[in-house]
Amino acid sequence: MPRLPAGLAGLLLTVVVVGAVWALLVPPWQTPDEIAHYAYAQDLAENFRLPPRQPIGAASAHQESTDQGVADNAAGASRGAFFPQTAPPEWDPAVWATYRAEERANPAPSRSDGGGPNPAASNPPLYYLYADIAYFFDYGGTAFGRLYAMRLWGVLMVALNALAGWLLAGEVFGRRRLPQLACGAVAGLWPMQTFMGASVNPDSLMVPLWTFAFWLGARVIIRHAQVRDAIALCAVAAAAVLTMATSYALLPAVALALFAGWRGRPAEQRRAALRQLSLASLALVVPVLGWLALGRALGRSAINSIAAGAHPAPFNVRQFASYVWQFYLPRLPGMVRFRWTSGLPAYDVWLKEGTATFGWLVVPVSAWIYKAVAIVIGVIGLAALWFMAKLRGRTALWLIAFFALALVVLVGGLHFTEYRSIINGQGHILQGRYLLPVIGLLGLAFALVISRVPARWRPGACMGVLILLLCLQLLSMSAVVKAYYL
């Protein structure tokens, strides 16, 4: 049996500790959309049914069950969701005691009378099925016990993301532990990733699935599409699609990886390989088509859709280009303003919200921390681009194309969706955490730079990355403590 490398063991232990702190520190239902996701998971666990997006007939079921509603009300969760300074979670031990007495009453608040219209209803059920395993860990306890069990269960996903980052760098750079450690650390210790991973949210499962897909895609390209790698890649991509519709953005890159791996085969093997890979792709096609068919049979949308507003506008290419321009660059005279953020949207959304903005995206860290992170990412990004520009090998170029395609399709899809939302009068929808599926690529950029640092400086550089991540974690946690508890 292969031994776990000590560096990886140390990293995973660190990630588990940090993840457990996030899971327990954040007040109940104070992560993005956690109220809706918990309600979805609870209804699935209690009634084994999927929640509707819209009310069905004259049914008047609520999104939350009575059990969740009583707990939510006692802790002040919904009330304070966007207002931690004025409406922090309930601090009074007497209210907690009253709640527990109510829970013990006969009959206890119902857990199965939720299942009403739910904004998370368009999500496929895979994550919720995973979370529901933990739902039963503390089934006899309170709603809070069930919620926190699900969060702690999510920590496993954060650890798996770190593992996937380690494997990804190992595949790309070879068995080089320091770059692998740096890549795994970025994947597992990026504050927003740990925070989201340790919350009740399908992002928790989707992000490691993407990172595993990057690893497996790299394997398929480098090892010339071995059948078991291709099956694993297709299965992971299918799992990602069955977790969140966002993961359809992964499919072009998966197709590219399979094609590149197949092209890498000697010419005389390609015909046979094509048949094998076609069969392997069933691991992706069958579950996804199955879900689409099920969604159709149940009258559910299997992909996220933007509802048309009162005055929907047609898609306009020039306007879309203007919107994208303004997201990344200062607005030029004559451009219609698309977004209202204090600074450049790319900085405010991707960097600030993607790094460390907690609660319902209302708990920031100090402004200087974002600036420092921007500088570090900028330096690493430029250095990584410099090193990549010098690569000439065919396999390396296929790898770059694979990673770039996943990134471009994800970001392009997000902008396309937001633009449509804006012109349909539905407002802005982008959040920084939507970039977390490509956190493995950020880790890979760090790993690339560390792999090129002179050997004697490499341990220091790697340690620097880990210490910066841990400091970022501790500063983020202190921001959460101040916002909710002091």
Between 293 and 463, CB nearer to other proteins = 463
**In this structure, which amino acid lies at residue 5?**
P
Rounded least distance, CB 457 to other proteins, Å: 7
Rounded least distance, CB 287 to other proteins, Å: 27
434 alpha-carbon distance from chain centroid: 6
At a CB cut-off of 8 Å and minimum separation 6, what does 2 contact?
A: none
The DSSP string of 308-375 is: P-SS-----HHHHHHHHHHHHSPPPTTPPP----SS-HIIIIIIIIHHHEETTTTEE--HHHHHHHHH
Between 298 and 463, CB nearer to other proteins = 463
Between 132 and 418, CB nearer to other proteins = 132
Rounded least distance, CB 353 to other proteins, Å: 20
Between 375 and 481, CB nearer to other proteins = 481
CA dist 118 and 116 (Å) reads 6
Closest C-alpha among 199, 243, 222, 233 to residue 406: 233
**In this structure, which amino acid lies at residue 69?**
G
Between 88 and 295, CB nearer to other proteins = 88
Rounded least distance, CB 17 to other proteins, Å: 5
Asked whether 159 and 15 are in contact (CB, 8 A), the reply is yes
Between 53 and 79, CB nearer to other proteins = 79
Between 295 and 381, CB nearer to other proteins = 381
Between 267 and 486, CB nearer to other proteins = 486
CA dist 166 and 151 (Å) reads 23
Rounded least distance, CB 209 to other proteins, Å: 18
Between 180 and 355, CB nearer to other proteins = 180
Q: What values do phi and psi take at 357, rounded to 5?
A: -135, 115
CA dist 221 and 258 (Å) reads 7
Element (H, E) at 209: helix 203-222
Asked whether 95 and 16 are in contact (CB, 8 A), the reply is no
Rounded least distance, CB 83 to other proteins, Å: 4
Closest C-alpha among 200, 197, 199, 173 to residue 187: 197
Rounded least distance, CB 231 to other proteins, Å: 16
Closest C-alpha among 365, 367, 345 to residue 357: 365
Rounded least distance, CB 456 to other proteins, Å: 4
Between 219 and 420, CB nearer to other proteins = 219
Rounded least distance, CB 167 to other proteins, Å: 5
Token pair of 42 as six digits: 């609870």
Rounded least distance, CB 303 to other proteins, Å: 33
The DSSP string of 83-124 is: -TTTSPPP--HHHHHHHHHHHHSSSPPPSSS-----TTTTS-
Between 170 and 287, CB nearer to other proteins = 170
Rounded least distance, CB 40 to other proteins, Å: 21
CA dist 87 and 78 (Å) reads 10
Long-range Cβ contacts of 384-387 (<8 Å, 24+ apart): 384/445, 384/448, 384/449, 387/448, 387/449, 387/452
Between 315 and 457, CB nearer to other proteins = 457
Token pair of 389 as six digits: 């520009």
Rounded least distance, CB 297 to other proteins, Å: 39
Closest C-alpha among 54, 467, 399, 447 to residue 260: 399
